[in-house]
Amino acid sequence: MAMDKALHPDIATVVGARPQFIKLAPVTKALAARGLSEIIVHTGQHYDHAMSDVFFGELDIPRPDVNLGVGSGSQGRQTGEMLIGLEQVFEDHRPRMVLVYGDTNSTLAGALAAVKLGIPVAHVEAGLRSHNRTMPEEHNRVLVDHVADLLCCHHQSAVNRLVSEGIRQKMTIVGDVMRETLAIYGPKALARSQYPASLKLAPSTYGVLTVHRPVNADNNDALQQILAGCAETGYPIVFPAHPRVKARVEQLVNANRKGQVQVIAPLGYLDMIALLSSSRLVLTDSGGLQKEAIFLGVPCLTLRSETEWVETVHVGWNELLGDRPLAATVREAIERTRASPRLEAPSKELLESTFGPGNTSALIALAVEKFLGADN
């Protein structure tokens, strides 16, 4: 582990998974612009190159100062190893604040390690709830919100949820940082990426599929139903498969001759945005992809029974198909979406009324600066 940064940085930022690298990109620049020093700690939760290293290069993010290299494992083992490693990092560097993003095991471990050492915690994407307590992510986001000192919310609706739970810590509305990242890097993605042309697909002639949550990804019957529903439409579907499920997906596709489902390796951020932006629809159980779809004006079919991003459903860009949907449900949703007239992309006004202001990273940096200033 590299330890070449000065002691007492203003911020220790903890990241470990693909969505967090995307959120980190504009925020780390905004912190530096306000003169705030930062160390970046990578837990190693996502360690495959296509799910980790590639994002730092594409998004011009400084290389992590520390990489714990925790890797995969059960929920408890992974979180426990992160806690041990992060406690040592925080004791060595003694940051003034720890910044965490989202709802992963890295988020929870970063917050708990900081709290045990008396270090204030800032949580970006505070106040989200799916109300499904079978999801590890739901427990993570609830626990982190209740121990964090600075809660950075995307919208007033998130503030209202926190207040309803009796939370009274410092809250601030900052907007959605993934929306800002897309606005910054989207043009670069379209200019640089060879997707979808490299797959011999024309714009608006295919769908995109991603599956990674245990309820869908860790059960062969569930995967089989999703893949069968896609294949039965006869419509090309591109599946950038998570490393954890790629081999099983390829087996299922080959065994059942589901030739319309094209399984490819995970993509970096720029290629994924290019592939998604030219698609006709997306099927996913990812929270981040639900948002990216609406930002790009692509209809989303979510393979879950609920979503923490309820706004995407309310404005009509997202349809919930349920956990472990049957093949017929998937097929009918794809056919229904394809048959519907393509809507215009959501307006800036709609996105701001739904996801808050667009200068999110600057607002996060300002909130951190004010908190630390008041803490002196």
* pTM for the predicted model, two decimal places: 0.92
Instruction: Count the residues in the chain.
Output: 376
2-16, 46-60, 238-252: which has the minimum mean pLDDT?
A: 46-60
pLDDT tens digit sequence for 166-215 = 999 999 999 999 999 999 999 999 999 999 999 999 999 999 999 988 88
Q: Name the fold adopted by 187-354.
A: Rossmann fold (3.40.50)
Burial of 270 (0-12, 13-18, 19+ CB in 10 A): buried
Using 50, 70 and 90 to split pLDDT, how confident is the model at 375?
low
Which three-class secondary structure string do you get for the chain?
A: CCCCCCCCCCEEEEECCHHHHHHHHHHHHHHHHCCCCEEEEECCCCCCHHHCHHHHHHCCCCCCCEECCCCCCCHHHHHHHHHHHHHHHHHHHCCCEEEEECCCHHHHHHHHHHHHCCCCEEEEEECCCCCCCCCHHHHHHHHHHHHCCEEEECCHHHHHHHHHCCCCCEEEECCCHHHHHHHHHHHHHHHHCCCCHHHCCCCCCCEEEECCCHHHHCCHHHHHHHHHHHHHCCCCEEEECCCCCHHHHHHHHHHCCCCCEEEECCCCHHHHHHHHHCCCEEEECCHHHHHHHHHHCCCEEECCCCCCCHHHHHCCCEEECCCCCCHHHHHHHHHHHHHCCCCCCCCHHHHHHHHCCCCHHHHHHHHHHHHHHHHC
Integer Cα distance of 329 and 184 in angstroms: 36
Identical fold, 11-175+356-375 and 187-354:
yes
pLDDT tens digit sequence for 354-365 = 999 999 999 999
Tokens 């360690």 label which residue? 47
- In the predicted structure, residue 95 carries a pLDDT above the cut 90: yes
pLDDT given at position 70:
83
pLDDT tens digit sequence for 138-165 = 999 999 999 999 999 999 999 999 999 9
Q: Name the fold adopted by 11-175+356-375.
A: Rossmann fold (3.40.50)
Active site residue 212: yes
* Domain spans, the chain: 11-175+356-375, 187-354
pLDDT given at position 3:
43
Integer Cα distance of 276 and 291 in angstroms: 12
Integer Cα distance of 351 and 294 in angstroms: 9
71-80, 95-104, 114-123: which has the minimum mean pLDDT?
A: 71-80
Catalytic residue among 123, 154, 212, 242: 212
- In the predicted structure, residue 1 carries a pLDDT above the cut 50: no
Contact 199, 264 (CB under 8 A): yes
Mean pLDDT of 236-250: 86
